[in-house]
Copies of this chain bind each other. A is one copy, B any other.
Amino acid sequence: MTPDTDQLREQAEQALRARELGVLGALLAEHEPPEIADLLEREPHAADRAVLYRLLERDQAVEVFELLEPGQRRELIDGLRDDDVARLFEEIDPDDRVQLLDELPAGVAQKLLHGLSADERELTLPLLGYPKRSIGRYMSPEYVRLRARLTVGDALSHIRHRGTDAETIYMLPVTDDERRVEGVVGLRELVMAAADELIGDLMVEARTVTATEDAEAAARRVVDEQLLAAPVVDGEGRLVGILTVDDASRILELADDEDAARQGAAEPLRRPYLTVPVFGIVRSRVVWLLVLAISALLTVQVLGVFEDTLEQVVTLALFIPLLTGTAGNTGAQAATTVTRALALGEVRSGDVLAVAWREVRVGFLLGTLLGALGFALASLVFDVHFGAVIGLTLVAVCTLAATVGGAMPMLARAVRADPAVFSTPFISTFCDATSLIIYFLIATWLLGL
């Protein structure tokens, strides 16, 4: 399908340049929403994106909108007329509506909510009651629930009657009189069963998520457990919504975007790279870069303390980037591995000591290996004393860097911060300063300075 999209892009560019809006509209009408979303994701000019989006037919516009990233949704809204926004807002799903409200200024959000039809507002307001970043804001309140005493035949006609607006009918929660979830049954099982079988006999134990739970953790579970959807319950186990695997995947993709960006010490763009203006990219990076540069002033201080030592043996300066670099790399490896393991739920904050102890050993082994090599090389080129300085420093800094790199994300999680904020560059900067101190202490000691 990729070549198709490239062709669409070329044709669209031509029509845009020639301002042939009729041709463009016809071209868009011929294509599927995913292709149009892809086109919008790669169009670098904001004005052209707005033109393209306004040319879409009504149904197409809704479907395309639901495929876009949050930042891009907001941008398109900004470019539409008020009545178009109101219509779009009425037609998208309640969970998409809640995500959009989070993007918009409070005043605009209030106005949009007031403009909603009573039905849709009633579906939307409960979701807004859940805390930000909880799965309650991402679930769908439109589901079909069954009762255990129904026969398969009755259940199917109930589904035919009530299923039109439901987010999914492939996973059907079974509830009691108090809406408490007793189990779930798949549409597949209903279709394969005889008409007189009872839902209560077909249903299996439900894998539920709680509405106040962290959205990423809940979504990760739905994907990991290979569920099509999970019932979302309140504190008393009562059904309040449903989380489908495609919504869960979408949540994880945004979370992974965030982690990837933070690991590289940038804020997530939340929209396709090519659609972000240069200033937007600068904004996503400048704060982190400044913080890191200011922290790096520490290394200037440390070296200032040892300036006399440096003047005595300028050769020491030659190895500074090698040593700080290796420490940074070792720390980055540990931090990356542990951050990912935390994201996947493979380790929890309680495992901090187990993780630190593993990383002490890993760092020591890596340091010993690199240290032996460093000792051999530096002894050959300079002398054995100098070799010992380099070798010992490598052992010490690798051990320290791996331990700190592994422990930092764990500590972040323990204090409920995002483990990915202890990004690779952050760990590197920390390791730079500490490895310089270790280096010069070992050097003054072994070289008798």
Contact = CB atoms under 8 A, between A and B. Distances in A.
A232 interface: no
Contact of A156 (B44, B67, B191, B304): B191
Contacts of A340: 257, 260-261
A446 interface: no
Nearest to A346: B272
A333 B293 contact: no
A249 interface: yes
Contacts of A288: 329, 333
Interface string A246-273: 1001101100110111011110010011
* Copies held by the complex: 2
Interface in A1-40: 1-2, 32, 34, 38
Measured as residues with beta carbon below 8 angstroms from the partner, the interface class of chain A is 35 or more
B223 A253 contact: yes
A310 interface: yes
A224 B285 contact: no
Nearest to A285: B333
* A156, A263, A354, most chain B CB atoms within 10 A: A263
A289 B373 CA distance: 12
A49 to B, nearest CB: 14
Contacts of A57: none
A326 interface: yes
A304 B319 CA distance: 10
Interface in A329-371: 329-330, 332-333, 335-341, 344-347, 351, 354-355, 358, 361-362, 365-366, 369-370
